[in-house]
Amino acid sequence: MDSFEEFTKNEQMEKINRFRYLNESIRKGEILFTGSSLMEQFPINELLMDYGIDKIIYNRGVGGFKTDDMLEHMEEQIFGTEPSKIFINIGTNDIGAPDYKLETLMEKYEKILVQIKERLPETEVYVMAYYPVNEVEKLPDGEWGKMLFVTRTNENIALANREVEKLARKMGYHYIDVNDGLRDENGRLKKEFTIEGIHMYANGYRIILENIKPYL
């Protein structure tokens, strides 16, 4: 493991530790947002205040997490909050990995949902669609930038969304397509929403919030 990977792993584990302590004093039965960086960076509580929406939402996203990571930390990312509703967005980093296979992603995603079904049988679960990307944006420097859109393509994302929708239906959960208004005329993430083609500014998350408001 190189120094950057080690730093990232240490940072992720520090976030997990923070969640563990936060979960000791939160209100049970509220709403949970969980996933990877695309969920972690969702400024949901600021947007709720802007919209005057009186809801309590806990965010347990961790940047860089894959389905494997979530499976290792279900207690901190999900079970510890004992939520009444879960909005989950996990797997985009699986799609972006060099060894990505759709079948493997779905197997691991199903394991996550099966555990939720067993531990939180009364909780409503909303499986969110993966967001589109804009692979024509300027790539970040370094190895990460070179690998950013090799497998993380809108074609692969669309295929994954179809399978995730089937999985949600199989589990008796809700699948919600939150992407209405995010795409340009070519089906890419609108460039005014995105930092580097994947992650978004608050204007993009406002669109997503509009799409999920009926489910909150």
In a domain, 193, yes or no: no
Given this model, what pLDDT does residue 149 score?
A: 87
Q: Which range of residues forms the domain containing residue 113? A: 3-132+149-180+203-215
Tell me, yes or no, whether 11 lies in a domain: yes
Number of domains forming the structure of the chain: 1
Q: Is residue 141 part of a domain?
A: no
Provide the 8-state DSSP code for 192.
G
- 55 within some domain: yes
- pTM tops 0.95, yes or no: no
Between strands 85-89 and 124-128, the pairing is parallel
pLDDT tens for the chain, 216 residues: list them. 444 466 588 999 999 999 999 999 999 999 999 999 999 999 999 999 999 999 999 999 999 999 999 999 999 999 999 999 999 999 999 999 999 999 999 999 999 999 999 999 999 999 999 999 998 766 665 555 556 788 999 999 999 999 999 999 999 999 999 999 999 999 999 999 999 999 999 999 999 999 999 999
pLDDT of residue 8: 85
pLDDT at site 3 = 46
Is residue 13, in this structure, part of any structural domain at all? yes
pLDDT at residue 7, as a whole number: 59
Residue 168 falls inside a structural domain: yes
Q: Is 164 part of a structural domain of the chain?
A: yes
CATH of the domain at 35: 3.40.50.1110
What is the model's pLDDT at position 148? 74
Residue 53 lies in a domain: yes
